[in-house]
A and B are shown apart, each in its own frame.
Chain A
Amino acid sequence: MKNEIHPVQVVLYEGLGAEPWERECRIGVAGTLLDQGYSVLRITARTDSAAAPRTAEGIPFVVLGRFEGAPPEIIDGAGGRSVATRDVAGLDAPGIVALVAEARAELGAGLNEPGGQGAWKPWFPVIDYDRCTNCLQCLSFCLFDVYGIDEEKRIEVRNNDNCKTNCPACSRVCPEVAIMFPKYSAGPINGEAVRQEDVARESMKIDISSLLGGDIYSSLRNRSEKAKSRFSKERSPDKALNERKRCLTQLQKSGLIPAEVLAELDLASLPSPEEIQRKAKELAAMRAEA
């Protein structure tokens, strides 16, 4: 994965041995930290001891409280974790948020901050296995290796980060309406319950394989082979890129890829003709096995 950052865990400790916070301060701190990409756990006197703060492997912890005495014990889930404890008595919400940033820097922990430069927006397909029939059309369709096959030969989402932000094209390919993008605007792709009309509509939609005159991979492979032979003769990388762009434009015209997604695609990041050939071979093998 390109981005391995797990959100830093902040604990608002208002349990035994600590003063409760004012409501507004709690709202301000929790809301701001969540908007910045942190996870926030609130502990109160009602928290049963089984839910005491517990670190998980590799996840930095920042514990905040108005402690009356010694700060609470943190159960170390994995041994030797990064934990910072801060007394926030006398600080207002912005002061507390600033203190968390300092503690995070001290722990050397990264943050995938929403809206931040280079942040990764979590956009990827989610499969509803109550609906999926394992037809593998999504695997065949996706050019970016987002899908794979698990040990039980079932389709799985393997490389979330390869998915093109805001592109829901593969959900349109699924004949069972089994692919969701939870951040999509409309149902049933956003996870809304699937209605009979949705299924009927899906069964009438354009067959993706006919779109490019046959199986998408063999089509792309043929195109890429032609492109490759021209490529080797003409030594023109632009031609190969244009070839791929033409395929994608066709998909966009059919409404499968939003125009703005296509416009943003970095064509140089598209799979090379060799990669397309490799994927086509792999896919044929997987289909034979599944």
Chain B
Amino acid sequence: MNDTPAAKILYCRCAFAQVVPATTKDEVLAGLCAAETPFESFADLCEMSARRDPRLAEAIAGEVPVRIAACYPRAVKWLFHQAGAPFPDDDRVEVLNMRDTPAAEVVASLLGSGKEPNPSEP
């Protein structure tokens, strides 16, 4: 246990399209379900953005780090913006791309307790 505030975890199922590989989506969800960590998940972040759903703003509000498993960070950042829930200017919100990142890597980043140590640093 450490004192780093637990990151809030969001997971997008991309349920209306097949652009995120199904195995990656399933493995990431299984990884989240296997942990003791709470998480919030959406059938389709694009749909939430189109509806200007108030849960998007709530999900990234506050001071805690937020990690979002979805698709390309550029798309997700502007989807939130279009929903009236712009990302903060700092790097508090991190987007993990399930379109081209292996599931194990996504799960490790979602559940990690802070920034991964850089192995090249002394």
Contacts and interface: CB of A to CB of B under 8 A. Distances in A.
Contacts of A56: 54-55, 58
Given A23-B34, A56-B58, A160-B50, A122 B44 contact: yes
B38 A37 contact: no
Contacts of A45: 36
B82 interface: yes
Nearest to A156: B82
Contacts of A119: 16
Given A4-B51, A35-B13, A129 B81 contact: yes
B78 A124 contact: no
A129 B29 CA distance: 31
A34 B43 contact: yes
Interface stretch (A187-195, A199-207, A250-258, A260-268): A187-195
Interface residues of A, number: 58
Nearest to A25: B33
Contacts of B34: 23
B79 interface: yes
Contact of A190 (B6, B19, B30): B19
A5 to B, nearest CB: 8
Interface in A189-228: 190-194
A284 B115 CA distance: 50
Interface in A113-134: 114, 119-124, 126-129
Interface string B99-117: 1000000000000000000
B78 A129 contact: yes
Contacts of A39: 40-43, 48, 55
Nearest to A163: B50
B76 interface: yes
Nearest to A26: B33
B15 interface: yes
Interface of A: 1, 4-7, 9, 23, 26-27, 30-31, 34-48, 50-51, 54, 56-57, 59, 112, 114, 119-124, 126-129, 157, 160-161, 180, 182-185, 187, 190-194
14 contacts: A7-B48, A26-B33, A39-B55, A42-B39, A42-B41, A46-B6, A54-B58, A112-B47, A114-B15, A114-B44, A119-B16, A121-B17, A129-B78, A185-B19
Given A40-B40, A41-B39, A56-B54, 15 more contacts: A4-B51, A7-B48, A27-B33, A39-B43, A40-B41, A44-B38, A57-B54, A122-B16, A124-B50, A126-B79, A182-B75, A183-B16, A190-B72, A193-B72, A194-B74
Interface of B: 6, 8, 13-17, 19, 26, 29-30, 32-34, 36-44, 46-51, 53-55, 58, 62, 71-76, 78-79, 81-82, 99
